[in-house]
Amino acid sequence: MIAQPQPLIEVFAEMPDFRRRQGQRHALPAILSLACCAMLCGYRSYSAIAEWGRNYGTGIAHALGFTHNTPCAATLHTIFRRMDRDALETKLGDWAERVVANTPPAPSASEAAVALDGKTLRGSRKQGAPGVHLLSALSHHMGLTLAQQAVDAKTNEITQVETVLRQLVLKDRVITMDALLTQRHVAQTIVDEGGDYVMIVKENQPQLRADIELVFTLPPAGDRQERARTVDIGHGRIEQRNITTSEALVGYSDWPGLARVFELGRHVITQKTGEERAEVVYGVTSLRPERATPGRLLELVRGHWHIENKSHWVRDVTFDEDRSQVRCGNIPQVMAALRNTTIGLLRLAGHTNIAAACRRLAAQPAQALALIGIEYEN
């Protein structure tokens, strides 16, 4: 287990309460603690959170900070609907940043890496809820969500990426992203703040893509290209990845911070059927050769998809996020923020199988309280 620089219960205590003091029955930190502990035990919706509170009785209710019984589902609905989602995301993001800052990097990583990617809350979108596409930043190594921003239906991730970047510590970090976010202003912001980027280049940057493709199709004279290769066998597949890097466009392309371009080939064989699939993608990075070998660059590209495996997939499969149809006010975003934090807490505790961990904690709720910083004895 990784020690938290600040218990989460203290972070909840710092959340500004939007309610008038008169008539308040339940303290906001207690409500957020209840929601997080219930999610740690695998309870998915605000109505299930209310049920968890009723199931475990007054002892746990008092430990969480309630002076009466825990709130009903209607009360949770009202509070989550009106809660300041941006303030919640900021507080939780700051906490996650402090955790990452106090944790030694992975042995193979010379720089801390953060993935940027978007996710749509599909069930809420079907119900017409606003702001149900969320752009998130996830630590490659730790699987912690460091920032999250709602993207309005009338816009896209490109317009909100600067908002997310402003919430992150960029210095000495590598930011990875898919082709949609491969934009000049994004690259410029990252290098201006002392960070580096690894970006995939597709048809939305046609000139840059054409230049990179030409470098690897007809290498210019004197171009010293470097290569790395990996082969993985598992899940019924043989997957081979080959990366080739080049500095040929340095001084030719005006892409901000460009230090190298790369060609990445993937070849996958399904062992049962023999079916083969191959693809080639191109990319750019501000990492110079002395800071990252082709092998390390390959790790960073592959590590980008941790945001899918460590966050998006878990939220959908374990917490049933895509089927959640909450749509009122800020409930979809508040619930997504709490799910992110729940997953982060479980990863900090050393759990890799999040679903199994939730089942274990459901039988031992005192351990769920301990993860957010509450000591409780039955």
For the cut 80, the answer to whether the pLDDT of residue 123 exceeds it is no
**Token digits of residue 270:** 């399904």
CA separation, residue 170 to residues 135, 183, 195, 236 (Å): 17, 17, 5, 38
* Strand order through the sheet with 196-201: 145-151, 133-139, 112-120, 173-177, 196-201, 276-285, 260-270, 237-246, 226-234
Work out the angle at residue 124's Cα, subtended by the Cα atoms of residues 120 and 130, and round it to the nearest 5 degrees: 80
Burial of 278 (0-12, 13-18, 19+ CB in 10 A): exposed
- Give the HSE-up count for residue 313: Cα atoms under 13 Å, Cβ half-sphere: 11
pLDDT in tens, 167-176: 999 999 999 9
Mean pLDDT of 148-153: 76
pLDDT number for residue 129: 43
Task: Please state the pTM of the whole predicted model.
Answer: 0.85
CB 112 within 8 A of CB 105: yes
pLDDT number for residue 2: 63
Work out the angle at residue 197's Cα, subtended by the Cα atoms of residues 280 and 153, and round it to the nearest 5 degrees: 85
Neighbours of 104 (CB within 10 A): 8
CB 151 within 8 A of CB 137: no
Q: Specify the DSSP class assigned to residue 278.
A: E
pLDDT number for residue 140: 87
pLDDT in tens, 286-302: 999 998 899 999 999 98
For the cut 50, the answer to whether the pLDDT of residue 336 exceeds it is yes
Please report which confidence band the pLDDT of residue 134 belongs to, taking 50, 70 and 90 as the band edges.
Answer: confident
Residue type (1 letter), 289: P
Task: Tell me the DSSP string of 3-57.
Answer: PPSS-HHHHHHTSPP-S-STT--S-HHHHHHHHHHHHHTT--SHHHHHHHHHHTH
Distance CA 227, CA 220 (A): 16
Identify any residues that bridge with 137 across adjacent strands, giving them in sequence order. 116, 147
**Token digits of residue 53:** 């509170």
pLDDT averaged over the chain? 87
Q: Identify the weakest region by mean pLDDT among 8-12, 28-32, 202-206, 338-342.
A: 338-342
pLDDT number for residue 150: 81
Identify any residues that bridge with 119 across adjacent strands, giving them in sequence order. 134
pLDDT number for residue 142: 82
For the cut 50, the answer to whether the pLDDT of residue 122 exceeds it is no
Highest mean pLDDT among 13-22, 177-186, 233-242: 177-186
| Greater model confidence, 46 or 300 | 300
For the cut 80, the answer to whether the pLDDT of residue 79 exceeds it is yes
For the cut 70, the answer to whether the pLDDT of residue 264 exceeds it is yes
Q: Is the dihedral of CA 105, 108, 114, 119 positive or negative?
A: negative
Please report which confidence band the pLDDT of residue 124 belongs to, taking 50, 70 and 90 as the band edges.
Answer: very low
For the cut 70, the answer to whether the pLDDT of residue 209 exceeds it is yes
Burial of 169 (0-12, 13-18, 19+ CB in 10 A): middle
Radius of gyration (C-alpha) of the chain in whole angstroms: 23
pLDDT in tens, 154-171: 457 788 899 999 999 999
